[in-house]
Amino acid sequence: MKQTQRLDKILAHVGIGTRSELKRLAKGGAIIVNGVKVKDSGMQVNPDTDLIQVNGETVVYREFVYLMMNKPQGVVSATEDNRDRTVVDLLDAVYKPFDVFPVGRLDKDTEGFLLLTNDGKLTHNLLSPRKHVPKTYYAKVEWEVSEADREAFSQGVTLDDGYETLPGVLKILKTGSEPEGIVSEIELTIMEGKFHQVKRMFQAVGKTVVYLKRLSMGPLALDPNLELGQVRELSADELTVLQNAHELQN
Protein backbone atom coordinates (compact mmCIF):
# COMPACT_ATOMS: atom_id res chain seq x y z
CA MET A 1 0.00 0.00 0.00
CA LYS A 2 1.10 3.55 -0.69
CA GLN A 3 2.38 5.37 2.40
CA THR A 4 0.27 8.45 1.88
CA GLN A 5 -3.19 8.69 0.39
CA ARG A 6 -5.96 11.21 0.06
CA LEU A 7 -7.71 11.71 3.39
CA ASP A 8 -11.19 11.56 1.83
CA LYS A 9 -10.33 8.28 0.13
CA ILE A 10 -9.24 6.76 3.45
CA LEU A 11 -12.34 7.97 5.27
CA ALA A 12 -14.66 6.84 2.48
CA HIS A 13 -12.98 3.42 2.52
CA VAL A 14 -13.82 2.88 6.18
CA GLY A 15 -17.38 4.06 5.58
CA ILE A 16 -17.33 7.51 7.20
CA GLY A 17 -18.89 9.29 4.25
CA THR A 18 -18.82 10.08 0.57
CA ARG A 19 -16.25 12.52 -0.76
CA SER A 20 -18.77 15.37 -0.81
CA GLU A 21 -19.96 14.60 2.74
CA LEU A 22 -16.35 14.60 3.88
CA LYS A 23 -15.76 17.95 2.21
CA ARG A 24 -18.68 19.32 4.25
CA LEU A 25 -17.39 17.73 7.46
CA ALA A 26 -13.97 19.29 6.87
CA LYS A 27 -15.55 22.71 6.23
CA GLY A 28 -17.42 22.37 9.51
CA GLY A 29 -14.15 21.65 11.34
CA ALA A 30 -15.12 18.06 12.24
CA ILE A 31 -11.98 16.42 10.83
CA ILE A 32 -8.70 16.73 12.70
CA VAL A 33 -5.33 15.31 11.66
CA ASN A 34 -2.52 15.29 14.22
CA GLY A 35 -4.41 17.84 16.31
CA VAL A 36 -4.94 20.30 13.44
CA LYS A 37 -8.34 21.05 11.87
CA VAL A 38 -8.39 19.94 8.25
CA LYS A 39 -9.40 22.45 5.59
CA ASP A 40 -8.81 20.30 2.53
CA SER A 41 -10.39 16.83 2.77
CA GLY A 42 -8.25 15.82 -0.21
CA MET A 43 -4.96 16.35 1.66
CA GLN A 44 -2.39 13.57 1.73
CA VAL A 45 -2.05 11.62 4.99
CA ASN A 46 -0.38 8.44 6.11
CA PRO A 47 -3.07 6.28 7.75
CA ASP A 48 -0.41 4.24 9.59
CA THR A 49 1.27 7.16 11.32
CA ASP A 50 -1.07 10.16 11.24
CA LEU A 51 -3.75 10.49 13.94
CA ILE A 52 -7.08 11.07 12.20
CA GLN A 53 -10.17 12.07 14.18
CA VAL A 54 -13.69 12.72 12.96
CA ASN A 55 -16.24 14.29 15.32
CA GLY A 56 -13.85 13.57 18.19
CA GLU A 57 -13.51 9.86 17.38
CA THR A 58 -10.21 8.34 16.30
CA VAL A 59 -10.43 6.62 12.93
CA VAL A 60 -9.03 3.11 12.84
CA TYR A 61 -7.95 2.56 9.27
CA ARG A 62 -7.72 -0.84 7.68
CA GLU A 63 -7.39 -1.75 4.07
CA PHE A 64 -8.74 -5.30 4.15
CA VAL A 65 -11.56 -7.14 5.86
CA TYR A 66 -11.91 -10.91 6.18
CA LEU A 67 -15.33 -12.37 6.88
CA MET A 68 -16.53 -15.90 7.55
CA MET A 69 -20.12 -16.61 6.53
CA ASN A 70 -22.32 -19.62 7.13
CA LYS A 71 -23.95 -19.36 3.71
CA PRO A 72 -27.62 -20.29 3.61
CA GLN A 73 -29.38 -21.89 0.65
CA GLY A 74 -31.13 -19.57 -1.80
CA VAL A 75 -28.42 -16.92 -2.16
CA VAL A 76 -25.81 -16.83 -4.89
CA SER A 77 -22.04 -16.49 -4.37
CA ALA A 78 -21.64 -13.25 -6.29
CA THR A 79 -21.48 -9.53 -5.60
CA GLU A 80 -24.44 -8.68 -7.87
CA ASP A 81 -27.19 -10.63 -9.52
CA ASN A 82 -30.24 -9.58 -11.52
CA ARG A 83 -32.54 -12.26 -10.11
CA ASP A 84 -31.27 -13.60 -6.82
CA ARG A 85 -30.07 -12.23 -3.53
CA THR A 86 -26.30 -12.47 -3.20
CA VAL A 87 -24.06 -13.29 -0.27
CA VAL A 88 -22.94 -9.64 -0.28
CA ASP A 89 -26.57 -8.57 0.26
CA LEU A 90 -26.44 -10.42 3.61
CA LEU A 91 -23.60 -8.27 4.94
CA ASP A 92 -23.97 -5.55 7.52
CA ALA A 93 -23.83 -2.03 6.05
CA VAL A 94 -20.49 -1.35 7.79
CA TYR A 95 -18.79 -3.73 5.34
CA LYS A 96 -20.28 -2.19 2.19
CA PRO A 97 -17.52 0.40 1.64
CA PHE A 98 -14.88 -2.34 1.59
CA ASP A 99 -16.21 -3.91 -1.63
CA VAL A 100 -15.76 -7.48 -0.46
CA PHE A 101 -16.33 -10.45 -2.72
CA PRO A 102 -16.74 -14.18 -2.05
CA VAL A 103 -13.61 -16.34 -2.27
CA GLY A 104 -14.82 -18.87 -4.82
CA ARG A 105 -18.36 -20.09 -5.30
CA LEU A 106 -20.79 -22.29 -3.49
CA ASP A 107 -23.87 -23.32 -5.45
CA LYS A 108 -27.14 -21.54 -4.66
CA ASP A 109 -28.37 -24.65 -2.82
CA THR A 110 -25.07 -25.27 -0.95
CA GLU A 111 -24.64 -24.11 2.65
CA GLY A 112 -21.70 -23.50 4.89
CA PHE A 113 -18.23 -21.99 5.05
CA LEU A 114 -17.69 -19.04 2.76
CA LEU A 115 -14.90 -16.53 3.08
CA LEU A 116 -15.49 -12.97 1.89
CA THR A 117 -12.74 -10.40 1.59
CA ASN A 118 -11.38 -7.53 -0.48
CA ASP A 119 -7.85 -8.99 -0.34
CA GLY A 120 -7.28 -9.95 -3.96
CA LYS A 121 -3.88 -11.51 -3.39
CA LEU A 122 -5.06 -13.90 -0.69
CA THR A 123 -8.11 -14.77 -2.80
CA HIS A 124 -5.95 -15.51 -5.81
CA ASN A 125 -3.74 -17.80 -3.71
CA LEU A 126 -6.66 -19.65 -2.14
CA LEU A 127 -8.28 -20.26 -5.51
CA SER A 128 -5.16 -21.03 -7.51
CA PRO A 129 -5.40 -24.57 -8.92
CA ARG A 130 -1.65 -24.90 -8.29
CA LYS A 131 -2.04 -24.48 -4.54
CA HIS A 132 -4.34 -27.45 -3.92
CA VAL A 133 -6.09 -25.85 -0.95
CA PRO A 134 -8.23 -28.60 0.63
CA LYS A 135 -11.97 -28.07 1.05
CA THR A 136 -14.07 -30.43 3.12
CA TYR A 137 -17.79 -30.93 2.51
CA TYR A 138 -20.53 -32.76 4.37
CA ALA A 139 -23.17 -34.25 2.08
CA LYS A 140 -26.29 -36.38 2.08
CA VAL A 141 -26.26 -38.68 -0.91
CA GLU A 142 -28.85 -40.97 -2.49
CA TRP A 143 -28.44 -43.84 -1.74
CA GLU A 144 -25.70 -46.28 -0.80
CA VAL A 145 -22.21 -44.80 -0.76
CA SER A 146 -19.80 -47.72 -0.65
CA GLU A 147 -16.19 -48.71 -0.10
CA ALA A 148 -15.94 -48.95 -3.88
CA ASP A 149 -16.83 -45.24 -4.11
CA ARG A 150 -14.23 -44.43 -1.45
CA GLU A 151 -11.65 -46.34 -3.46
CA ALA A 152 -12.73 -44.65 -6.73
CA PHE A 153 -12.51 -41.15 -5.17
CA SER A 154 -9.09 -41.97 -3.71
CA GLN A 155 -7.84 -42.56 -7.29
CA GLY A 156 -9.76 -39.62 -8.82
CA VAL A 157 -12.88 -40.00 -10.95
CA THR A 158 -13.82 -38.88 -14.46
CA LEU A 159 -16.43 -36.12 -14.60
CA ASP A 160 -19.12 -35.74 -17.29
CA ASP A 161 -16.86 -33.48 -19.36
CA GLY A 162 -13.98 -35.96 -19.28
CA TYR A 163 -12.01 -34.10 -16.57
CA GLU A 164 -10.04 -36.45 -14.31
CA THR A 165 -10.23 -35.17 -10.74
CA LEU A 166 -7.38 -35.26 -8.29
CA PRO A 167 -7.75 -37.86 -5.56
CA GLY A 168 -10.34 -36.98 -2.92
CA VAL A 169 -10.70 -38.33 0.61
CA LEU A 170 -14.14 -39.80 1.26
CA LYS A 171 -15.28 -40.60 4.77
CA ILE A 172 -18.54 -42.55 5.00
CA LEU A 173 -20.42 -41.44 8.12
CA LYS A 174 -23.62 -43.39 7.46
CA THR A 175 -24.46 -45.86 4.71
CA GLY A 176 -27.89 -45.53 3.15
CA SER A 177 -29.83 -48.14 1.21
CA GLU A 178 -32.29 -47.67 -1.60
CA PRO A 179 -35.14 -50.01 -0.64
CA GLU A 180 -35.41 -48.33 2.77
CA GLY A 181 -34.94 -44.90 1.21
CA ILE A 182 -32.14 -44.00 3.62
CA VAL A 183 -29.57 -41.51 2.34
CA SER A 184 -25.86 -41.88 3.04
CA GLU A 185 -23.98 -39.21 4.95
CA ILE A 186 -20.40 -38.50 4.02
CA GLU A 187 -17.51 -36.08 4.29
CA LEU A 188 -15.41 -35.45 1.21
CA THR A 189 -12.16 -33.51 1.03
CA ILE A 190 -11.07 -32.27 -2.37
CA MET A 191 -8.04 -30.26 -3.42
CA GLU A 192 -9.57 -28.37 -6.33
CA GLY A 193 -12.75 -26.50 -7.09
CA LYS A 194 -14.27 -27.35 -10.45
CA PHE A 195 -17.83 -26.23 -11.15
CA HIS A 196 -20.30 -28.41 -9.13
CA GLN A 197 -17.37 -30.66 -8.33
CA VAL A 198 -18.79 -32.62 -5.39
CA LYS A 199 -22.13 -33.19 -7.09
CA ARG A 200 -20.41 -34.26 -10.29
CA MET A 201 -18.01 -36.61 -8.50
CA PHE A 202 -20.99 -38.46 -7.05
CA GLN A 203 -22.71 -38.37 -10.42
CA ALA A 204 -19.58 -40.08 -11.80
CA VAL A 205 -20.26 -43.05 -9.48
CA GLY A 206 -24.01 -43.03 -10.21
CA LYS A 207 -25.22 -41.20 -7.06
CA THR A 208 -27.01 -37.95 -6.30
CA VAL A 209 -26.07 -35.32 -3.72
CA VAL A 210 -29.28 -34.10 -2.08
CA TYR A 211 -27.73 -31.79 0.54
CA LEU A 212 -24.31 -30.12 0.56
CA LYS A 213 -22.51 -28.03 3.14
CA ARG A 214 -18.90 -26.85 3.17
CA LEU A 215 -17.23 -27.46 6.51
CA SER A 216 -13.77 -26.02 5.93
CA MET A 217 -11.34 -24.39 3.57
CA GLY A 218 -7.59 -24.71 4.06
CA PRO A 219 -6.83 -24.47 7.78
CA LEU A 220 -10.14 -22.75 8.69
CA ALA A 221 -13.33 -24.51 9.75
CA LEU A 222 -16.85 -23.15 9.92
CA ASP A 223 -17.54 -21.65 13.35
CA PRO A 224 -20.27 -23.88 14.84
CA ASN A 225 -21.74 -20.81 16.58
CA LEU A 226 -22.56 -19.13 13.26
CA GLU A 227 -26.20 -19.62 12.34
CA LEU A 228 -27.12 -19.91 8.68
CA GLY A 229 -26.79 -16.44 7.11
CA GLN A 230 -24.61 -15.11 9.94
CA VAL A 231 -21.22 -13.54 9.36
CA ARG A 232 -18.28 -12.67 11.57
CA GLU A 233 -14.81 -11.28 11.04
CA LEU A 234 -11.90 -13.69 11.20
CA SER A 235 -9.97 -13.39 14.44
CA ALA A 236 -6.36 -12.19 14.21
CA ASP A 237 -5.22 -15.77 14.92
CA GLU A 238 -7.42 -17.23 12.20
CA LEU A 239 -6.09 -14.72 9.70
CA THR A 240 -2.49 -15.51 10.62
CA VAL A 241 -3.15 -19.25 10.30
CA LEU A 242 -4.77 -18.70 6.92
CA GLN A 243 -2.03 -16.44 5.57
CA ASN A 244 0.63 -18.89 6.77
CA ALA A 245 -1.13 -22.02 5.52
CA HIS A 246 1.52 -24.30 4.10
CA GLU A 247 -0.50 -24.75 0.90
CA LEU A 248 -0.07 -21.04 0.17
CA GLN A 249 3.68 -20.95 0.71
CA ASN A 250 4.94 -22.63 -2.46
Q: Exactly one of 50, 81, 107, 223 is catalytic; name it.
A: 107
Give the DSSP per-residue string, 105-143: ---TTEEEEEEEES-HHHHHHHH-TTT---EEEEEEEES
| 212 contacts ligand URA (rule: CB under 6 A) | yes
Q: By CB under 6 A, which span of 34-42, 91-99, 124-132, 194-202 interacts with ligand URA?
A: 194-202
- Which residues, listed in sequence order, are joined to residue 202 by a DSSP beta bridge? none
Helix H or strand E encompassing 57: strand 57-58
Which residue's CB is nearer to ligand URA, number 205 or number 239? Answer: 205
What is d(CA 16, CA 60) in angstroms, rounded to the nearest whole number? 11
Query: Which of 13/108 has CB closer to ligand URA?
Result: 108
d(CA 92, CA 113): 18
Size of the chain in residues: 250
Task: CB nearer to ligand URA: give 98 or 202.
Answer: 202
Contacts with ligand URA by CB under 6 A: the residue count is 8
If binding is defined by CB under 6 A, does position 110 make contact with ligand URA? yes
d(CA 101, CA 88): 7
Helix (H) or strand (E) holding 238: helix 236-243
What count of other Cβ atoms lies within 10 Å of the Cβ of residue 132?
A: 12
Question: In angstroms, what is the minimal distance from the CB of 32 to ligand URA?
Answer: 48
Given 71, 140, 199, 207, the residue binding ligand URA (CB under 6 A): 199
To the query of whether residue 81 is one of the catalytic residues in this protein, the response is: no
Among 107, 185, 223, 238, binds ligand URA (CB under 6 A): 107
Binding residue for ligand URA, selected from 106, 116, 183, 217, defined by CB under 6 A: 106
Active site (catalytic) residues = 107
- Give contact residues for ligand URA (rule: CB under 6 A): 106-107, 110, 196-199, 212
